[in-house]
């Protein structure tokens, strides 16, 4: 079965306005899928959709919706009612940053809404139809921050761990039904959001990462285009796919270390990009 | 600083009506803490509290509340407003069992409410006061099911992974503030719930586990009294404490295996205790 037959005719990409999400959508379109794009910012969505339509002979549909709102599910159900979704890429993320106790409770709950509740609902609704059809794909975008507790992003890491295990469990339940469900563990990535944080905090890599000037020990961010493309080479390689072999090697090495050391090192790395005053990296 | 000075004067145990939660409460009371007990069933709570008061010279307070309901937070805030909580043990759990797509969406969302939202709120509210006092303890009870995707309990495992990472992250943020926050990874445990499942499904271990008759390869359930006592020997051993060294050894060994194999084996083990028809193990 070819890509379009297996994962088409429509892909739904949640968190698709720019960066990694937009690149996922482009990869789908390049392989012949129509793409339904979901994000909060209408203008950014339109720009991404226009770019895709100009380059590929596919249809697009833009859905302005916030995965952090309770009405998200209803909005999507209505907007997608006439489409057959063969591929779900859940890339939306809330990333409340700062000390857990300093972050407003509402932001922690929004994090759960975006990273746990919304993907659970979509997997339940769209997964059912995929299993009935005997084909499809579900990608839950997780993070290296899901692999151990992470200072300054405690609830974010926890929610990404939820997505990671959701993807792994669905892989095991759906693999005999023709559906490739899995978690995509994304390492440090150079995205528009990354650039904005660099700029906002006066850090030196707003315009690109010079490896020779990068802090030793901190993971070198990889271009989002590369991270997006890697996913499409591994759609059948669940339950857990890493965005780079180096990240997988590091995770495997960490598993042999005392847990205390793993969490401490992650905490120190997370602070390299976090100098206070930043309450959310979700733009 | 002694146990009572560090973690007193009150411990709050959520999910305390029987089994592991009641045993956690007894361990606190034995060490001189007053115990606030939270569960849904008033009669079971009263029985546990009466038993504790008859054995130890401490106060108890019963709070009938459901961690799966939105009003949970408000109910607890009111009931605890006059108490100084130095120790939180979050042991409540929803465990929707069955194929992810067969479980009602409402049960998946209840799982998130009980295992993600409620502990996040309590850690935020009670953790703040502990850090201000410079002492305290937070125990988030997680599970071996949090370590890899788990067929038949997909969303349960995901939510337990949330709690695991929440505990690990809080450990790193609170350890310099005198607060021992961590995740307690509980292995297979012989509890009243375990007994009820055995009985309900006509399985042979309703009255106790005979190791010689136990399915080979399945983890042998340990008595809940032993699992509860182990926690109190490791309150300063975060970020992640296993309820038995064998479980930790197995987790470390699994980390070296291909991910696919780890998830498959866990899925097969989960099915040993799961023969369909059971939609929730939460009684």
Task: Copy the structure tokens of residue A246.
Answer: 């180096």
Q: How many CB atoms lie within 10 A of CB A32?
A: 16
Residue B173 has pLDDT above 70, yes or no: yes
Window 88-117 of B: residues touching A by CB (8 A cutoff) are: 99-101, 105, 108-109, 112, 116-117
In eight-state DSSP terms, residue A218 is S
How many angstroms from the chain centroid is the CA of residue B164?
11
SS3 A21: helix
In eight-state DSSP terms, residue A153 is -
Q: A280 in a domain, yes or no?
A: no
Average pLDDT score over chain B:
93
pLDDT confidence of residue A276? 40
Q: B279 in a domain, yes or no?
A: no
Q: How many CB atoms lie within 10 A of CB B98?
A: 18
Task: Copy the structure tokens of residue A82.
Answer: 């006439």
Considering only alpha carbons, which residue of chain A is nearest residue B182?
A149
Q: B32 in a domain, yes or no?
A: yes
Is the Cβ pair B100, A127 closer than 8 Å? Answer: yes
Q: A282 in a domain, yes or no?
A: no
Contacts of B153 in chain A (CB under 8 A): 169
Is the Cβ pair B100, A173 closer than 8 Å? Answer: yes
Q: B278 in a domain, yes or no?
A: no
Q: Does residue A175 contact residue A238 with C-beta atoms inside 8 Å?
A: yes
Q: Provide the domain count of chain B.
A: 1
Residue B180 has pLDDT above 90, yes or no: yes
Task: Copy the structure tokens of residue B3.
Answer: 């146990």
Active-site residue, selected from the candidate residues B7, B90, B156, B162: B156
Distance CA B229, CA B104 (A): 36
CATH number at residue A190: 3.40.50.720
SS3 A229: helix
Chain B contact for A130 (CB, 8 A cutoff): no
Which percentage of chain B shows pLDDT scores above 90? 81
Residue B277 has pLDDT above 50, yes or no: no
Considering only alpha carbons, which residue of chain A is nearest residue B152?
A173
CB–CB contacts below 8 A, A to B: 180
Task: Copy the structure tokens of residue A253.
Answer: 């090495």
Distance CA B14, CA B33 (A): 15
Q: At residue B137, what are phi and psi to the nearest 5 degrees?
A: -145, 140
pLDDT confidence of residue B131? 98
Is the Cβ pair A105, B124 closer than 8 Å? Answer: yes
SS3 B74: helix
Is the Cβ pair A100, B172 closer than 8 Å? Answer: no
Window 202-241 of B: residues touching A by CB (8 A cutoff) are: 238-240
Chain B contact for A153 (CB, 8 A cutoff): yes
Q: Does residue A33 contact residue A9 with C-beta atoms inside 8 Å?
A: yes
Burial of residue A202 (CB within 10 Å: 0-12, 13-18, 19+) is: exposed
Is the Cβ pair B168, A149 closer than 8 Å? Answer: yes
Q: B277 in a domain, yes or no?
A: no
Q: A196 in a domain, yes or no?
A: yes
Distance CA A70, CA A63 (A): 16
Q: Is A156 a catalytic residue?
A: yes
pLDDT confidence of residue A213? 77
Contacts of A112 (CB under 8 A, 6+ apart): A155, A159, B112, B116, B117, B120
B254 Rama sector, left if φ>0, alpha if ψ -120 to 50, beta otherwise: alpha
Going from the C-alpha of A211 to that of each of A191, A215, A267, B124, B128, the distances in angstroms are 16, 8, 21, 38, 39
Question: What is the full DSSP assignment across B217-250?
Answer: TSPPPEEHHHHHHHHHT-TTS-SEEESSHHHHHH
Give pLDDT tens digits for B59-83.
Answer: 999 999 999 999 999 999 999 999 9
Going from the C-alpha of B134 to that of each of A10, A99, A102, the distances in angstroms are 54, 16, 16
Nearest to B151 among A101, A109, A172 (CB): A172
Question: What is the full DSSP assignment across B121-155?
Answer: HHHHHHHHHHHHHT-EEEEEEEEGGGSS--TT-HH
pLDDT confidence of residue A275? 52
Q: At residue B104, what are phi and psi to the nearest 5 degrees?
A: -65, 140
* Residue B40 domain boundaries: 3-272
Distance CA B10, CA B36 (A): 7
- Residue A42, H or E segment: helix A42-55
Nearest to B151 among A128, A153, A169 (CB): A169
Give pLDDT tens digits for B259-270.
Answer: 999 999 999 888
Give pLDDT tens digits for B201-230.
Answer: 787 888 888 888 777 767 788 999 999 999
Is the Cβ pair B169, A146 closer than 8 Å? Answer: no
Residue in A169, A182, A255, A271 to test binding to B, most B beta-carbons within 10 Å:
A169
Q: A283 in a domain, yes or no?
A: no
* Model ipTM over 0.90: yes
Residue in A73, A168, A257 to test binding to B, most B beta-carbons within 10 Å:
A168
pTM of the prediction? Answer: 0.95
Task: Copy the structure tokens of residue B44.
Answer: 């079971």
Query: What integer is the mean pLDDT of B251-260?
Result: 93
Residue B147 has pLDDT above 60, yes or no: yes
Distance CA A229, CA A221 (A): 15
Chain B contact for A169 (CB, 8 A cutoff): yes
pLDDT confidence of residue A8? 96
Q: Please tell me the distance in Å from A174's CA to the nearest CA on chain B.
A: 9
pLDDT confidence of residue B276? 40
State the 10-residue block means of pLDDT for chain A, 283 residues long: 96 96 98 98 96 98 97 97 98 93 98 98 98 98 96 97 98 98 95 84 82 75 96 98 95 93 91 52 43
Nearest of A241, A270, A265 to residue A253 by alpha carbon: A265
């Amino acid at each position: 079965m070819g890509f379009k037959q297996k994962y088409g005719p429509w892909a739904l990409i949640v968190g698709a306005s720019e960066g990694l999400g937009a690149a996922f959508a482009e990869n789908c379109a390049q392989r012949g899928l129509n793409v339904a794009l979901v994000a909060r910012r209408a203008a950014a969505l339109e720009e991404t959709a226009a770019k895709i339509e100009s380059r590929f002979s596919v249809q697009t549909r833009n859905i302005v919706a916030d995965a952090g709102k309770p009405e998200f599910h209803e909005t999507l159900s209505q907007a997608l009612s006439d489409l057959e979704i063969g591929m779900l890429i859940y890339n939306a993320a809330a990333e409340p940053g700062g000390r857990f106790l300093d972050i407003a409770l509402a932001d922690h709950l929004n994090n759960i809404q975006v990273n746990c509740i919304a993907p659970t609902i979509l997997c339940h609704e769209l997964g059912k139809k995929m299993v009935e059809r005997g084909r499809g794909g579900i990608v839950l975008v997780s993070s290296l921050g899901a692999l151990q507790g992470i200072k300054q992003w405690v609830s974010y890491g926890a929610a990404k761990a939820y997505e990671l295990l959701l993807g792994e469990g669905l892989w095991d339940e759906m693999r005999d039904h023709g559906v490739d469900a899995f978690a995509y563990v994304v390492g440090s990535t150079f995205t528009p959001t990354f650039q904005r944080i660099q700029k906002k905090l006066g850090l030196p890599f707003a315009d690109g990462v010079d490896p020779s000037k990068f802090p030793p020990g901190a993971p070198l961010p990889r271009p989002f285009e590369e991270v997006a493309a890697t996913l499409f080479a591994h759609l059948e390689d669940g339950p857990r796919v890493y965005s780079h072999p180096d990240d997988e090697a590091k995770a495997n090495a960490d598993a042999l270390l005392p847990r205390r050391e793993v969490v401490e090192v992650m905490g120190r790395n997370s602070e390299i990009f976090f100098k206070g005053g930043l309450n959310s990296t979700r733009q």
